[in-house]
Structure 1
């Protein structure tokens, strides 16, 4: 991606506009651009004018993902990416004219602002006499192709996923084009000029230690998952102290690997493995199903990131408290499993799926902070920040979303920790102040005798905070607030260590 100052370009080219599809294989838009034999211009536009511009962790990932894609293009085809920054509605038609494009191809995004932008770009290209082709690289099934028997869209996950499975397996993934001729002479920004990486301070050390962005990193993770974690996934996916999930969520979001590729790889693993693997594979594929459902919801209810899906929640008495929010963000709540999750997020840009449920429930139920506060924090700090997944999952936990958790499902952080991190290994890693605590007390250090605290070197309120709220009192206040909504009746049930659906990304 070196800056070029050459003028002019070949007449009669195809322009490939990369977006959330930063890969060569199973890339329908790239395949279409290459299929006519025309020279191809590979373009990426950094457009911060849209709502929900990328947060800090995502920008770090994008830098390395673009560098990996550029290197892959150079290695495979002998040309690299052209980079531009600005409004795509302005830049893309101008670049299409500059490079002599007769066709422009891209893979669809499903965020409402992106849909509106792409519609406007298609119209502008049509006026220029340039063909515009959009394709599906991000989903197993397009949101408008999965319908209820009445021809409407789904609001319940289980029914949605049954309808998807009734459609049969998705299309097999496409191979990367064998050959593509690139064009030269089009000016490009340098990746470094975009300043996507943090400098002062450089907070990305944990991200660098944890991730390898790019399609090769995705393929490595997928291979490791299939070899070591798929057989056992149904049980081990809930244990945050082990690598029991695929961790493919950021690679899926940026399109460094596609869901069809993952689907096919899992199916092949089942065919070549024991019969026991099939159960675990179905559970894993259902997690891809939740990702599909989230995009289905966002497409049909574009207000999902900012409005309650259930209008009765508009009257909920949220308790705005900036100090409480900051303690949650920093992992200083006094509840070890919550603090471990928030610190894992800050250090690595990712959090284990089970723990995402616990920390989200704590924010909206124990602290009664608006789910949009959690959504915004995750958007900035997650490397897998995805508008559909983030919004649908936060609303699910809050009880305001489609197919939502019952409002009275309030996770008990102590019991969640004891069940899913029984020896405290996850807490010891991320909350080292408690590393010497015995397992019996590590999820509730305030219940330990003074002698145990002393031997572990823990001074509650000094080396580790006391709980910022009392669980029982906070739960009672939350139940009262939630039951005040129209049609709600207070219920005694409490989520302990059961199996409610997760604050999900494809695991």
Structure 2
């Protein structure tokens, strides 16, 4: 009996075996399955708009995630092939070489990714090789949630209400128990892709903070729902507490799917009804990710263009010194500096603090939100093409469902409210650790004796504020009022 022709499964931002529709369908056919991941920098550059190149932190994560995926494939008899080059050419060549019957992949509902997919389909069709695309990136297809003008909804609450009104998404698919592979296929090595920093090796904090991969993602979800979900609605705003799920980078790389998170959370709510409110709040955060992705579906250049056109005339300031001080966590505002240092060390930042540091950059310093978005894109392990620019535009006031222009987060009050004992600041800004709680969020108000007792010399061991809060707020409001008058 002739051996069945193999099926290629093209992995992208779905580095998992469970709830992987393309892999599940390929495995169910009984034919050999070849997993393929492509490092495609050439197609990225050709798409209008282009697929964004990964930042430094996400490159590090990708390397670990690919190693974990290869190990998982090996454990069930499968194989993961790594190749470099334009996706259409690489896939068509491999398909011909192994006499593949078809190539399957999960859709990424973003314009540049779909453009690459169309090139792959065309190249395969030329050789008479079938291709099939599966939904696997979102809870709901973006074409389902539309307004009367057939556009994505621009306000989150009605959007999320519509998504919830559709009921539960399909149940997650199990991982294949066994795969049949094809031997003798050449593969590149992750180590040869230079994804990880070496000189200097700045990823020590990432290694200490994270374990990428599908198994770690599910462990994290289980631990969160078992141990941390109670009180989530309040604790999620406290950077001094371990009150968030820390699932965002796992979702970013598809090590766990949105519907796996959804169903696990719904099961936990059914088992423990008292947790329903916390779980609803947690799922709304999953909904915000969905909202941003649907927005990106309609606005592929979300990271470059103001959604509200009047912001094209906003009087942004160019100040390289202020931008560098913000990036390095040396603004003189402890909650801002703690957040920026947490980001550099661990590749993430607490969500509440993300809003504070973003507001500080665009409103206190009047620096273009795109400068902040670019820095986050390079330093976040969860840098997401939808959430990252959408969140920055939300804070700036230029985006969908944006924060009111007059909301200027007070970094002192934010620190005192959400880090009342200064634990978060003490962890990430250790030079302030010996200050009393009542002044740790505004060290410039300390007396000379208090500063000396804490071993602090303002302007030397810790900077004085680079901008006065009141003056910065007034300047921001004046700039926002000016562009609003032009509407």
Partners of 1:395 and 1:437 lie apart in 2 by 35
1:190-227 Cα distance to aligned partner (Å, 9 max, x none): 11111211111111111000000001111111111111
1:59 matched residue in structure 2: 59
Partners of 1:349 and 1:190 lie apart in 2 by 25
Structure 1 SS opposite 2:132: strand
| Contact residue 151 and residue 298 of structure 2 kept, 8 A | no
1:149-202 Cα distance to aligned partner (Å, 9 max, x none): 564421111111111111111111001123221111221101111121111111
Q: Where does 1:353-392 land on structure 2 (aligned, <5 Å)?
A: 353-392=351-390
1:25-78 Cα distance to aligned partner (Å, 9 max, x none): 100010111122111111000112314111111111111100001001111x22
1:476 matched residue in structure 2: 474
1:79 shift after superposition: 3.0
2:304 matched residue in structure 1: 306
Partners of 1:335 and 1:111 lie apart in 2 by 38
| Contact residue 33 and residue 78 of structure 2 kept, 8 A | no
1:383 shift after superposition: 0.4
2:433 matched residue in structure 1: 435
Partners of 1:222 and 1:55 lie apart in 2 by 25
1:33 matched residue in structure 2: 26
Partners of 2:117 and 2:100 lie apart in 1 by 17
1:86 shift after superposition: 1.7
Partners of 1:367 and 1:110 lie apart in 2 by 35
| Contact residue 11 and residue 99 of structure 1 kept, 8 A | no
Q: Where does 1:319-398 land on structure 2 (aligned, <5 Å)?
A: 319-398=317-396
1:250 matched residue in structure 2: 249
Stretches of structure 2 that go unaligned for 5 or more consecutive residues are: 45-49
Q: TM-score, normalised by structure 2?
A: 0.96
Partners of 2:13 and 2:180 lie apart in 1 by 23
1:241 matched residue in structure 2: 240
1:439-497 Cα distance to aligned partner (Å, 9 max, x none): 100000001111111111111101000000000101111111111114479xxxxxxxx
| 1:13 aligned residue (6, 12, 18) | 6
2:420 matched residue in structure 1: 422
1:502 matched residue in structure 2: none
1:229 matched residue in structure 2: 228
| Contact residue 109 and residue 137 of structure 2 kept, 8 A | no
Partners of 1:408 and 1:303 lie apart in 2 by 26
Partners of 1:152 and 1:373 lie apart in 2 by 28
Partners of 2:108 and 2:320 lie apart in 1 by 34
Distance 1:103 1:393, change over 3 A: same
Partners of 1:337 and 1:349 lie apart in 2 by 17
| Contact residue 171 and residue 263 of structure 2 kept, 8 A | yes
1:80 shift after superposition: 2.4
2:139 matched residue in structure 1: 140
1:156 and 2:160 matched:
no
Stretches of structure 1 that go unaligned for 5 or more consecutive residues are: 1-9, 490-507
Taking only aligned residues, the RMSD between alpha carbons, in angstroms, comes to 1.4
| Contact residue 253 and residue 385 of structure 1 kept, 8 A | yes
Q: TM-score, normalised by structure 1?
A: 0.92
1:110 shift after superposition: 2.8
| Contact residue 4 and residue 31 of structure 2 kept, 8 A | no
1:108 shift after superposition: 1.3
Structure 1 SS opposite 2:38: strand
Partners of 1:373 and 1:283 lie apart in 2 by 30
| Contact residue 147 and residue 163 of structure 1 kept, 8 A | no
Structure 1 SS opposite 2:101: strand
Structure 2 SS opposite 1:158: helix
2:79 matched residue in structure 1: 80
Structure 1 SS opposite 2:105: strand
Q: Where does 1:456-475 land on structure 2 (aligned, <5 Å)?
A: 456-475=454-473
Partners of 1:266 and 1:488 lie apart in 2 by 46
| Contact residue 89 and residue 123 of structure 2 kept, 8 A | no
Q: Where does 1:447-458 land on structure 2 (aligned, <5 Å)?
A: 447-458=445-456
State the aligned residue count: 479
